[in-house]
Amino acid sequence: MTTRGKEQQKKKKRYTESIAAFKKELKALSFEPIYGESIKDIIARLTVKIEDIANQYKYTVEFPEKAEIEAEGDIYYFIYPITLKTKTGRKKIYLHVQYLMYDQNQWAGMITGVK
């Protein structure tokens, strides 16, 4: 290999970015249930919290228009495929959230998993 080829190889450094810390912060939110009058209200509050955490890491978050939904009585399980735009590219996270009615017209939502 020529000297010029070796110099170009040295300049090309691969930079990878780990989103493990971001995931840990999302998992920490699982200990803080979010209360609201409807599922829509809780989704709005959760979205704001996720965007605040993403801004700390200088990430941009893209939320899906639809989520995978399962229901068992008054308990709803949502899986959101969230896309993060980082400095190095895009990363996909699956956020598992459970919503349940705990009182007349009062709902609680909590993160049950981050993958």
Mean pLDDT value across residues 42-47: 94
The fold of the 5-114 domain, in CATH, is Nuclear Transport Factor 2; Chain: A, (3.10.450)
Stated pTM of the model: 0.80
pLDDT tier for residue 108 given thresholds of 50, 70 and 90: very high
Mean pLDDT value across residues 10-17: 58
Grouping H, G, I as helix, E, B as strand and the rest as coil, residue 67 is coil
Strand 90-103 relative to strand 106-114: parallel, antiparallel, unpaired? antiparallel
Give residue 53's identity as a one-letter amino acid code: I
Neighbours of 59 (CB within 10 A): 19
Q: Kindly tell me the sign of the dihedral angle through the C-alpha atoms of 41, 106, 54, 86.
A: negative
Asked whether the beta carbons of 79 and 94 are under 8 A apart, the reply is yes
